[in-house]
Amino acid sequence: MIPAPFEYDAPATLDEAIALLEKHGDEAKILAGGHSLIPMMKLRFASPEHLIDINNIPGLSYIKEEDGYLKIGAMTRESELEESEIIRSKYPIFTDASKLIADPQVRNMGTIGGNIAHGDAANDHPAVMLALKAEVVATGPGGQRVIPIDEFFYGFYMTALQPNEILTEIRIPSVGAGTGNAYHKLERKVGDYATAGVAAQIAVDADGICTYAGIGLTNVNATPLRAARSEEALVGKKLTEETIAAAAQAASEDCNPSTDLRGSEEYKRSMVRVLVKRMINKATDRI
Amino acid sequence: MGHSIKRKEDARFIQGKGNYVDDIKLPGMLHMDIVRSPYAYAKIKSINAEEALKIPGVIAVVTGKDLEKYNLHWMPTLMSDTQMVLPTDTVMYQAQEVAAVIATDRYAARDGKEAVMVDYEPMKPVIDPFKALDEDAPVLRTDKEGKTDNHIWNWSVGDKEATDKLFDSADVTVKEQMHIPRIHVASIETCGCVADYNKVENHLTMYMTTQAPHAIRTVIALVAGHVGLTEEKVRVISPDIGGGFGGKVPVYPGYVIAIAVSFLVGKPVKWVEDRSENLQADSFARDYHITAEMAATKEGKIQGIRFKLLADHGYTDAAANPSKFPTGLFSICTGSYDYGTAYLEADAVYTNKPPGGVAYRCSFRVTEAVHAIERITDRLALEIGKDPAQLRFENFIKKEDFPWKSPTGWEYDSGDYHAGLQKAMDAIDYEGLRKEQAEKRARGEMMGIGISTFTEIVGAGPSKDFDILGIKMFDSAEIRVHPTGKAIARFGTKSQGQGHETTYAQIIAEELGIPAEHIQIEEGDTDTAPYGLGTYASRSTPTAGAAAAVAARKLRDKARKIAAYLLEVSEEDLEWEPGKFFVKGAPEKAKTIQEIVFAAYTNHPQGMEAGFEATHYYDPPNLTFPSGAYICVVDIDKETCEIKVRRFVAIDDCGNIINPMIVQGQVHGGLTQGIAPAMYEELIYDEDGNILNGTLMDYLVPTAVESPSWETGHTITPSPHHPIGAKGVGESPTVGAPPAIANAIVDALSPYGITHMDIPITPYKVWKVLKEKGVVE
């Protein structure tokens, strides 16, 4: 309810924000939608000395297809993703995920950039990014750099972002024909973090052979996890019941869930197996 | 009566114009925050406030040692047990109050709280209530002289010998061990107060989130009378309340600390808990371990029950039960069925957990009782292979057998259980569902149908049996009708969302003929309202609602006299229809209630007392016994074990209905609070006494998304002894829903040899049992 004291800046440009980051270093936190940071501050799990609010910086909220990519501005709200026609028609996986994030009030504020930059394996977008093999654009004093998603998540709340960088854009390779994607998580009640979540993108060629498989897992590892062996089990094969079962089994073996109030490690592995199977099927159905 | 008029109070609530305790801001008001124990059981070696006092705005840090000087460091509970206000040497549960920080604003108070350094010496706590009774268990309440164990009380009712004999010889006996989980009311508004002591007047005004303002005033006078706060010097005001559900009946230490600080500094002190404090420290509900047994003939005639229960009260018995009933009205556990043999024995223990347990939207432990009887009844049905609806029909108390004496000593006032269950079965197409279920089972799909046909016991209560701290459990109404025929009525109860401003006005309107919109209802100010024991246990309509009707009838008697005088006829020549008296056979010769009231002030008969006011303190002759028939259908995903409540039909019988819309709203809310413990909520502690889900991120309060589309209906069996035949409804759905859901889930799982599951039944729990049975991977 009552956070520790902090200083607050609301710069009007990205350059100013980066300059403030340079100045305050580790003591500063970026405030985007605030729906991860502010609850932590209320509980005093986080007590940043400086908040740099980037909500006043123009040009960070957009959804567009350009240069073979779907580009999403980091400040794009979850509710904007839900309502976007491009997303709905071609990337329903985002709609699946957004609908499962918290509640409508939170989604009106929460941003896709914040969801990823928070570095929380329990957040939903990181697994989606893994499935779509996204790239993250970080802007710092030296300009922009592009980070492949597989190099982005380091550990618990830790990412490849430097203290003087701001996540500004997400790039998704445009999907071609024959591609489908889907996300689902099991939750104890609406708005909960995932007991287990699975994002899948699948492409098949005219002969029904899988040409692309991206599978990301939510909240069953210290970091968002790519189910690499599951992907390998699919690519180059026909998506039969057996192939899919093998992929599902691989993911349940490769994840590292911990026992907690949501269930035992064994239960979560079982749920990963069920969800991987279901999401491959759902993604395939959407092709 | 019987009309769904819109709620009068909603105009302010939906416009954000309610006035809650945190809206109260007084000049010079100080703010309080509370340092709480991170340990479940520890010695306090020292409390260092030095750093806290350096923070600008922090003016004091109050400890138990400070309160001890005024003998205010202990207080009584409503169960005549004792509870620390602030500890002087030992903390007994996690989140217990340790010290209070007083500051000039809310932020400084919180910063001060972070800066208070407490040095603890942790001790091994006693968490498991069964182990608390072990001979070698450490004795927790060493503050109680001569206490040699952790046992609090033993209570029993029924015929032990006859019951044991029956169980030795019965054709069929069934038995299940059940736990009714420790849960929390988690009302939207947390608890809080503004204590405003005026030194010059030696007068305390206590604005407080309380369901029972009058009783609280008496308690304050009992606790603080020795420092001069006698009862006439105390005014308790309970403003708008954002949900009570029993959690706002007890006195929490924070209230007493705020009063003590205001008393010492002579300034108003505000204390409002945050969400985690509310969940972690304020009274829990339930937490009963029950061994339930039922005996029957092989044909399925229920012959008797034998229940043994263990109540985990945490650090102190801070329940809110009538004094003579330490296990509340659990003895309604014989249910809706006709048999004559029952024995119930209950024990209570201390553990290192927060104290309680309050009656969460339940008439004193009725929820626990109903869960046990409805589950064990289904268990019997499973055992003998009889349809659970058929078993119930064959065992119901018949409509013509009321009033019916239960083997645990109650006299059920009225009921028509057959009609209720039949209506519910017709509404849901019970036969069709059973057919569908058979087909699905053949395909290996999991579908379950669960029934709960419960009897509630509410409206505590008759003064011969019911008191709290010696105060009899009557309730009151005072009606004043102004010269122009508009009225104000005040009550000893206190609405927390029940809609009293509307329903009480409707009762008076029905009896006096004054339109409900011309009747203002007030509650919650002890300086103005008549004394009463407050709103909980579905008692407002049975007690204060009855008082309103009786007070209004007193006024109608007076109105008849005035009308006779005005019309120059004898009283016997007058007939009443709502709103006027008229001369028999000459309806044009009439006086409206407004004309009569005006005359009471302007032209009353000589010798008659002027004015138009009446008060009544209603002492109910019996409790009322609402009932219900609920049927729930669930589908369980065979891989994820997710449970979907597909349909839920609730047929309630609360006697005559004052406002159908309000009843329906009560039922919807109550059913949602019924699905909560059935599938979601439980306060979970580890073996060190740490709460594992002390925030709403992990304490899973269901939302609209989790709530099925409730299908509601009613039968009407009026209470024969209540002035308007009403019975009370607020708690029926919370009481009746959990066993319907649990029975449905167990029904779905019964083909796999599962006979019982403890609530909350989560997908994870279902997966675990099915995994053990080899049904899921």
3-state SS of B8-72? CCHHHHCCCCCCCHHHCCCCCCEEEEEEECCCCCEEEEEEECHHHHHCCCEEEEEEHHHHHCCCC
Q: What is the pTM of this model?
A: 0.97
| Averaged pLDDT score across all residues of chain B | 97
Q: What CA–CA distance (Å, rounded) separates B708 from B58?
A: 49
- Write down which residue in B618, B633, B654 finishes a domain: B618
What's the mean pLDDT in B333-356? Answer: 98
Q: Rg for chain A (alpha carbons), in Å?
A: 19
Mean pLDDT of B742-763: 98
Total CB pairs under 8 A between chain A and B: 58
Do residues B262 and B354 share a domain? no
Q: Domain of B493: which CATH number?
A: 3.30.365.10
Instruction: Please confirm, yes or no, whether B390 is among the known catalytic residues.
Output: no
Q: Sign of the C-alpha dihedral, residues A220, A222, A226, A228?
A: negative
Beta-carbon separation of A188 and B700 below 8 A:
yes
Spell out the alpha helix ranges (H) of B568-687. 593-602, 660-675
Closest CA to A185 of A272, A81, A281: A272
| Whether B190 contacts B278, CB under 8 Å | yes
Same-domain pairing of B322 and B431: yes
Strands of A210-218's sheet, edge to edge? A179-186, A196-204, A210-218, A225-226
What pLDDT digit, counting tens, does each position of B606-620 carry?
Answer: 999 999 999 999 999
**Mean pLDDT of the B257-270 span:** 96
Residues of B in Cβ contact (< 8 Å) with A1: 110, 274-275
Report the chain A residue with the minimal C-alpha distance to residue B761.
Answer: A188
pLDDT for position B320: 86
Instruction: Scan for tokens 């009783």, then name that residue.
Output: B215
From residue A37, give the alpha-carbon distance in Å to each of A34, A117, B700: 5, 11, 21
Of residues B211, B437, B666, B673, which has the active-site annotation? Answer: B211
Residues in chain B with CB shorter than 8 Å from the CB of A2 are 106-107, 110, 274
- Residues of chain B numbered 103-142 and touching chain A (CB < 8 Å): 106-107, 110-111, 114
Q: Which pairing describes strands B341-349 and B151-158: parallel, antiparallel, or unpaired?
A: antiparallel
Q: Is A33 helix (H, G, I), strand (E, B) or coil?
A: coil
- Mean pLDDT of the region A60-89: 96
d(CA B394, CA B396): 6
Q: What is the rounded distance in angstroms from the CA atom of residue B14 to the CA atom of residue B95? A: 34
- Tell the residue number behind the tokens 């407490």, with chain if given: B118
Among B618, B642, B671, which residue terminates a domain? B618
How far apart are alpha carbons B654 and B539 in whole angstroms? 12
CB within 8 A of A8, min separation 6: which ones? A50, A51, A53
CB atoms within 10 A of CB B483: 14
Cβ distance A217 to A206 under 8 Å? no
**In chain B, what residues touch A261 (CB-CB under 8 Å)?**
684, 692-693, 698
Res. B469 pLDDT band, cuts 50 70 90: confident
Residues B730 and B761 in one domain: yes
Cα gap B285→B357, rounded to integer Å: 4
Are A192 and B700 an interchain contact pair (Cβ–Cβ within 8 Å)?
Answer: yes
> With an 8 Å Cβ cutoff, are B763 and A186 in contact?
yes
A-chain CB neighbours of B695 within 8 Å are: 43
**Strands B643-653, B710-714: parallel, antiparallel or unpaired by DSSP?**
parallel
Q: Which of A200, A207, A232 is nearest to A130 (CA)?
A: A200
pLDDT value at A1 more than 80: no
Residues whose CB is less than 8 angstroms from the CB of residue B103 and which lie 6 or more positions away in sequence, other chains included: B30, B31, B32, B33, B55, B57, B58, B59, B109, B112
In a domain, B179, yes or no: no
DSSP element (H, E) containing B91: strand B90-91
Please give the helix or strand (H or E) that residue B389 lies within, else none.
helix B388-395
The mean pLDDT of A91-113, rounded to a whole number, is 95
Write out pLDDT tens, residues B104-133: 999 999 999 999 999 999 999 999 999 999
Asked if the C-beta of B277 comes within 8 angstroms of chain A's C-beta atoms, the answer is: no
Residue B767, chain A, CB below 8 Å: the answer is yes
Nearest to A263 among B274, B702, B764 (CB): B764
Residue B19 lies in a domain: yes
- CB-based burial label for B591 (10 Å; 0-12, 13-18, 19+): buried
Q: Judge whether residue B226 has pLDDT over 90.
A: no
- Which are the contacts of B620, defined by CB distance < 8 A and separation ≥ 6? B459, B461, B462, B474, B542, B543, B546, B721, B722
Contacts of residue B146, defined as CB under 8 A and 6 or more positions apart, other chains included, come to: none
Residues of A with CB under 8 A from a CB of B: 1-2, 4-5, 43-44, 103, 186, 188-193, 195, 261-264, 266-267, 270-271, 273-274
Note whether B669 and B702 are within 8 A (CB): no
Q: Are residues B607 and B715 in the same domain?
A: no
pLDDT for B222 equals 86
How far B111 CA lies from chain A's nearest CA (Å)?
Answer: 7
Of A4, A189, A273, the CB nearest to B703: A189
> Residue B539: inside a domain, yes or no?
yes
Q: Is B362 a catalytic residue?
A: yes
B763 alpha carbon, distance to own chain's centre: 28
Beta-sheet strand order (sheet of B613-618): B519-523, B487-491, B475-481, B613-618
> Taking residues A238-247, what's their average pLDDT?
98
Instruction: ipTM value, please give it.
Output: 0.96
In a domain, B151, yes or no: no
Residue B91: name the closest of B140, B41, B150, B139 by CA: B41
Q: Does B695 touch chain A (CB under 8 A)?
A: yes
**Which DSSP category does B504 fall into?**
H
Q: Is residue B465 domain-resident?
A: no
Question: Which two tokens mark A2?
Answer: 């009552």
Give A65's contacts (C-beta < 8 A, 6+ positions apart).
Answer: A71, A86, A174
Q: Is the same domain home to B299 and B365?
A: yes
> Nearest 5°: phi and psi at B669?
-65, -40
Angle between helices B213-224 and B253-265 (to 10 degrees): 60
The predicted-structure confidence for B534-574, as pLDDT tens digits, reads as follows 999 889 999 999 999 999 999 999 999 999 999 999 999 99
Query: Are the beta carbons of B680 and A188 separated by less than 8 Å?
Result: yes
**CB atoms A4 and B684 under 8 Å:** no
Provide the angle, in degrees to the nearest 10, between the axes of the packed helices B732-749 and B660-675: 40
Going across the sheet that includes B58-63, the strands are B58-63, B97-103, B30-36, B269-272, B192-198, B203-208, B234-237
Encode burial over A2-22: b for 16+ CB neighbours within 10 A, e otherwise. Answer: bbeebeebebeebebbbebbe
Which residues make beta-bridge pairs with B193?
B208, B271
Residues B237, B374: one domain?
A: no
Of B274, B275, B767, the CB nearest to A267: B767
In B225-315, DSSP assigns E strands to 234-237, 269-272, 284-296, 302-312
Domain count, chain B: 3
- Cβ-defined contact of B706 to A190 (cutoff 8 Å): yes
3-state secondary structure of B400: helix
| Exposure of B299 in the CB half-sphere (CA atoms within 13 A) | 3
Q: Which domain holds residue B514?
A: 475-618
Of A2, A189, A261, the CB nearest to B110: A2
Q: Same structural domain for residues B544 and B569?
A: yes
3-state helix, strand, coil in chain B (%, to 5): 30, 25, 40
Section A117-121 average pLDDT: 95
Average pLDDT taken over every residue of chain A = 96
CA distance A191 to chain B (A): 9
For chain A, list the domains and their CATH numbers. 7-53 (3.30.43.10), 63-173 (3.30.465.10), 180-285 (3.30.390.50)
Nearest by CB to residue B114, choosing from A44, A191, A195, is: A44
Cis before B763 (ω within 30)? no
Same domain, residue pair B294 and B356: yes
Instruction: Report the DSSP pairing between strands B302-312 and B341-349.
Output: parallel
Q: How far apart are CA A165 and CA A142, in angstroms?
A: 9
Nearest Cα neighbor of B667 from B657, B679, B678, B677 is: B657
How close A92 comes to chain B (CA, Å)? 21
**Helix and strand element counts for chain B (H, E):** 19, 33
Same structural domain for residues B293 and B244? Answer: no
Are residue B290 and residue B238 in the same domain, yes or no?
no
- In the predicted structure, residue B715 carries a pLDDT above the cut 80: yes
Shared domain check, B735 and B710: yes
Residue B368 maps to a domain:
yes
| Segments of B473-603 assigned E as strands | 475-481, 487-491, 519-523, 574-577, 580-583, 586-592
Residue B735 to residue B626: CA distance in whole angstroms: 11
pLDDT tens digits along B281-333:
999 999 999 999 999 999 999 999 999 999 999 999 999 899 999 999 999 99
Among B142, B40, B183, B51, residue whose Cα is nearest residue B98? B40
pLDDT confidence of residue A91: 95
Which CATH number characterizes residue B69's domain? 3.90.1170.50
Single residue among B618, B650, B671 that ends a domain in this structure = B618
Contact between residue A126 and residue A218 where contact means Cβ atoms under 8 Å apart:
yes
CA distance B751 to B88: 57
Distance CA A134, CA A131 (A): 8
Cα–Cα distance between B382 and B756 in angstroms, integer?
11
In a domain, B279, yes or no: no
Q: Is B669 in the same domain as B751?
A: yes
The question of whether B731 is a catalytic residue gets the answer: yes
Which residues of chain B have a CB within 8 Å of the CB of A264?
A: 764, 768
Contact (CB<8Å) A186/B642? yes
